[in-house]
Amino acid sequence: MIIARNLTKYYDNFLAVDHINFHVKKGEIFGFLGPNGAGKTTTVRMLSCLTKISEGEAYINGYSVRDEKVMVKKSIGVVQDVANLFGDLTVRQNLNFMAELYHVDKKRVNEVIKQFELPADKKFSKLSFGFKKRATLAAAVLHEPPVLFLDEPTVGLDVKSSRAMQKLIIELNKEGHTIFLTTHNMAIAEKLSHRLVIINRGKIVAEGTPQELKSMFTKVLKIEVTVNKVRREILEELRDFHPRAQGNTIIFSARSFQDFLDAFYPVARKYSVVVLSMNSSGANIEDVFLEVTK
């Protein structure tokens, strides 16, 4: 649904997006993760015809972003990081206006008002920040575009509104929208994206599923086992896993959880030690992010 080939943006002499390549498959939520100033918004603006591509090519839904702008615009909905509806109009008036622009049946306006649970008769300027975001998203999907660009859709939202927004994004994806999602929030990228890239200073520095990215950077697992009684023999027999006892908890380090379990259980059984709980933690997407953007 989206192809970028050597996509590049210069602002005068400043290289903001540096010959990036990626593709987004139909039905995916594609995460575009990067720190402030990485080039996320610039990429969205290039792909959605809001700023000129300096070098390279991009295709949306099979249409060239350079040469088939009208078809590209029909194929996409864009939610930018700033809300862009008319403050003096009510939500319904804004949506009716958009419906006319896109030649969409007015019935659809009622549909999205219901789906997004919007206060239809409130002026846009009077809405809370969270509802402004929801209304902007509603306007972007009015014409049921196959591709949605969401630039930082959860930034500035409180926990409840952020959860509601994430739920909406998943819902829209299930309805068939392919979603290009920029964020610097790693937890959200990890939770929502089927695949993601990490962009830093205009360059893609990592690419894969959240799981692939994590396993690429998983170093050593930390495994915490709480037992009924810490026996010295256990610490000795499992010394390859660098055990450290803290009260009734033993902290081990291992490269593979399975290898650890295979070694641990026979020893625990031998000394009749009862396991009360076991936790393991490896790299999270935040570790990956910091590693590739440092």
Ligand X SMILES: Nc1ncnc2c1ncn2[C@@H]1O[C@H](COP(=O)(O)OP(=O)(O)OP(=O)(O)O)[C@@H](O)[C@H]1O
Under the binding rule (CB under 6 A), the answer on residue 177 touching ligand X is no
- For residues 44 and 95, which CB has a smaller minimum distance to ligand X in the complex? 44
Contact in structure between 193 and 30 (CB atoms under 8 Å): yes
The partner in contact with residue 140, picked from ligand X, Mg ion, none with C-beta cut-offs of 5 to 8 angstroms by kind, is none
Under the binding rule (CB under 5 A), the answer on residue 41 touching Mg ion is yes
| Out of 177, 184, 214, 231, the residue judged to bind ligand X by CB under 6 A | 184
Contact in structure between 270 and 225 (CB atoms under 8 Å): no
Contact in structure between 181 and 153 (CB atoms under 8 Å): yes
| Out of 31, 34, 56, 210, the residue judged to bind ligand X by CB under 6 A | 34
| Contact positions with ligand X (CB under 6 A) in 11-30 | 11, 14, 16
Under the binding rule (CB under 6 A), the answer on residue 36 touching ligand X is yes
Which stretch, 7-15, 41-49, 120-128, 140-148, contacts Mg ion (CB under 5 A)? 41-49
Which segments of the chain does DSSP mark as H helices, in order?
40-47, 69-75, 91-101, 107-115, 129-141, 159-174, 186-192, 210-217, 232-237, 257-270, 285-293
Under the binding rule (CB under 6 A), the answer on residue 156 touching ligand X is no
| Out of 2, 24, 30, 41, the residue judged to bind ligand X by CB under 6 A | 41
Tokens of 107: 């019935």
Cα-based distances in Å from 164 to 26, 108, 196: 24, 21, 22
**Eight-class DSSP state of 121:** T
The partner in contact with residue 88, picked from Mg ion, ligand X, none with C-beta cut-offs of 5 to 8 angstroms by kind, is none
User: Site size for Mg ion, by CB under 5 A?
Assistant: 2
**How many angstroms separate the CA atoms of 42 and 37, rounded?**
9
Residues at the contact surface with ligand X, assessed by CB under 6 A: 11, 14, 16, 34, 36-42, 184
Binding site for Mg ion (CB under 5 A): 40-41
